[in-house]
Structure formats: C-alpha cells, structure tokens
Amino acid sequence: MTDCPNAEMRDRLPDLLHERLDRSARAAVMAHVERCANCRAELALLREARAVLTSGVRTVDVAAIARGVIARTRAPIAVVAPAARRSRQQRSWSDWRIAASIAVIAAGAATVAVIRSRQESVVIAPPPVVANTVAVALPPVAESAHRVHRVPRAPVAAAPAQNAELSAGAGVSDLSDSDLRALLQDLDSMDAVTPTDPEPVTVRVSMPGRGDGGEIE
Amino acid sequence: MTDASRGGDGQSDLDLIARWQRGDERAATELVARHAQALARFACSFGASEEVDDLVQDTFVRAFNSLDGFRGESSFRTWLFTIERRLLLDRRRAEKRRPSRVEVQEGDAATEYDALDSMVAGEAANRVREAMKKLSPTQREVFTLRVAQGLSYKEIAELVGTTEGAARVHYHNAMRAVKEFIDD
C-alpha cells in the first residue's frame, strides 16, 4: 500500500470518515479520492480500523446515565452559587431602594408635620395649659383675627385668686363685666416694684472736638 | 471542519452548560445525550469493555462538578475525553495494584483487544488488530483518537498533552506502520 503524495488530502481522510468536513472541503476530498487509488485504499483501511477499535461498543442507556448524573450532581455549589450571588445582589439593590424610599417618606412626613405645627400655632389658639402663662387675645391684626400671643404671667404671689379661671383656659374676652372690673382692680392693687433694684448704669459719651468724654451716671 | 458541539436544536454545548448552571436539568440531559455514546466509543477504543455506562456516568459527574475549570478553550467533548481518559488510567492503576489481575501498563489498551477477538470477524480486521499491537503506546493512542474518534490534531494534542505537529507525526508514523504490517 503506497502513500499518496498529496499529504494534505491524505491528512483529511479521517475527517472525511467522521463527516467532520464542511461542504466545500468534503467535495474537494471526495473528488480527489475518486481519482486516487492510494487514498481509496487508505480510506478503506481507516474504515476497517475504526470498526476494529469500536467493535466492542454497545449502546449506552443515555436516559439512565442522565438520571444518575443529575442525582449525583443535583444542586451543586457551582449551580447554586451564581443564582445565590445574583439573588444577594438583587436583594442588596432592593434594600437600598427600600431604604431610600423610607428616607424620602420620612423626610416628607417631617416636612408635613412641621408645616402643620406652624399652621396650628397660627390658626388655632391652644388653651393655656401651663400655669405660669396667660393667653391674651389681642385685637385683630393684619395676619389673623385669631392669632394669640403668649405673654409671661405675673409672679404667682401677686396673682389674685380669680386668675385661676384664666389659667384654666378662658380668655379675657370670656370674662363678664364684673369679673373684668375685679381683674383690673387687682391689677391696680398689684405692687409694681420689681423684685430687685436695677444696677447703676454708667454711660460714656464722647463729644466731637473735645479730648475727653463726658460721663453721666 | 464542522461544529460537533452544536446539536440539532442549534444550541451549543456552552449554551447548555449555562442552562445547567442555572439549574435546568433538561440541559444536563441534553448534554449527556449528545456526548454519552461518543464517550462509550472512546472508552471501548481504549479497551474498557465492562461497566462502560458507569465510566461514562462518572465522567459526566466529574465534569459537571468541575465546570468552573472548563474554560472553553477546547470543545466540551474533548474536555470530556480528557476526564474519561484520566478515569481510565486511574482505574487501570487501581487494577494494577490488585494481585489477582494481569498487570496493565499505561497506554497498553491494545492488550485488552484480545477479549474482543471472538467478536470481530474477518481476516482484514484481525490483520488491523495485529498491526495496532505493534505500535508504540503513544502512536496507538493518537491513531485511536484520530481514527476511532475523528478528533483533530489540535484536539488530540490537548488531550494527550503534546503539540499539534507532534500529534500529526505520531498519526502518520502509525499509519505507515499499519500499512507495512498489512503488506507483509
């Protein structure tokens, strides 16, 4: 058996045998084999050799093998890990989104609460609950007819007994004429002297054109 | 060369591997169906006559458990052959340690062809078989991979750990030796 001098064609004979050539290559090799006795003889030898080498092969039970493989490799780390990593990444992103949403909602709620508290302090006159404050309704002014200013109440020792009604929540406008008169009398009878004497004040005045400044006590 | 790693459904082995890694068992079944018979042929061509199904299954199990190591540089089938070849060598080494068994050298698969003698009829086949016994272990392995499996020189080189050129030389030397034996 002589070797064909066309080494390239001879090299492709096993590929022809196993149908591993594309259409054009297969056509070229087939055309060569048809006119080359050496290559035809070598191709026949290859067929024989393949038959010998694969003669003991029986058909394997592919379904049983597949079942066994899946059972022995079910949920392997390599299979679970990418999905778990993906899940963790997705969960991380959704966590951030939820956190951001909560922050936005909280900020909005805080803003609304501040606005409402301001509106309440402007529109609604809450009853004076604290004992040492007296709510005094002022005459209507530009902003609101119901605006209420809280002013410090006079010392408790100087307050008449009737003032307890005021501190209970009623305004001056709720008093009757007789109560109002009594209240005014009490106020007139209150000692207006401050509890402590004021400290002496020194005022230094600089006069332009004079070297020294005058001092007034 | 045609693409042996793409099935009739147009999905490549890499597509099926990706699906299997996402937990799709049908992809695993498809991969087994696509390559199991080739692995069986490969095992038989290297002398494995018993428990081929177990060997093929073990090959897939080992492959699926180490898919991270498959970089796609070679075809999935060649990678499977590499794993199966390693399993075969491991089994032969294990058998070698058993005192009751006949010692088998690495690459000495042709000695097991004797068990198949009765199954192969024809003088030509016997001549081919005898000729292959005369080959060196490396020549026989390369010749088997090229003729029985139809692997390219590149795939053979990856499988046996040599160069493409060396694989080509081993094949042609083997073919020349077989021809000379048959002509005598």
Q: What is the pLDDT of residues A60-70, one digit of tens each?
A: 899 999 999 99
Average per-residue pLDDT for chain A: 70
Dihedral (CA of A28, A30, A36, A38) sign: positive
Structure confidence by residue, pLDDT tens digits, A139-195: 444 444 444 344 444 444 444 444 444 444 456 666 778 887 887 787 777 765 555
Of B157, B181, B184, B179, residue with least CA distance to B168:
B157
Cα pseudo-dihedral B19, B22, B23, B27, rounded to 10: 0
Q: Is A123's Cβ below 8 Å from some Cβ in B?
A: no
Give the C-alpha separation, B21 to B26, whole Å: 11
> Maximum Cα–Cα distance for chain A, whole Å?
145
CA–CA min distance A97, chain B (Å): 26
Structure confidence by residue, pLDDT tens digits, B126-142: 888 889 889 998 999 99
- Where does A165-210 show beta strands of DSSP type E? 203-205
Give the C-alpha separation, B146 to A173, whole Å: 113
Amino acid at B74: S
Pick B11 or A152 by higher pLDDT.
B11
**Stretch B90-112: mean pLDDT, rounded?**
60
Q: How confident is the model at residue B184 (pLDDT cuts 50, 70, 90)?
A: confident
Residue in chain B closest to A15 (alpha carbons) equals B150
The answer to whether the CB of A66 falls within 8 A of the CB of B32 is yes
Q: CA A14: distance to chain centroid?
A: 65
Give the C-alpha separation, B58 to B44, whole Å: 15
- Tokens 């199966």 appear where? B84
Reading the block at residue A217, the tokens are 């006590």
Of B116, B103, B126, residue with least CA distance to A56:
B116
Of B42, B72, B62, residue with least CA distance to B145:
B42
Does A66 contact B33 at a Cβ distance shorter than 8 Å? yes
Which of B37, B119, B175 lies closest to A55 in CB terms? Answer: B119
Reading the block at residue B28, the tokens are 């695993």
Structure confidence by residue, pLDDT tens digits, B49-76: 778 899 999 999 999 998 888 878 788 9
**What pLDDT was estimated at residue A91?**
56
**What pLDDT was estimated at residue A217?**
44
Reading the block at residue B75, the tokens are 């075809």
Give the C-alpha separation, B166 to B157, whole Å: 8
Kindly list the distances between the CA atom of residue A135 and the CA atoms of A9, A65, A148, A165, A172, in Å, as whole numbers in the listed order.
113, 92, 7, 12, 8
Residues of chain B in contact with residue A39, where contact means CB-CB under 8 angstroms, are: none
What value does the CA radius of gyration of chain A take, rounded to a whole number of Å? Answer: 53
The answer to whether the CB of A14 falls within 8 A of the CB of B144 is no
CA–CA min distance B2, chain A (Å): 5
Determine the length of chain A.
217
Reading the block at residue B61, the tokens are 């199990």
CA–CA min distance A66, chain B (Å): 5
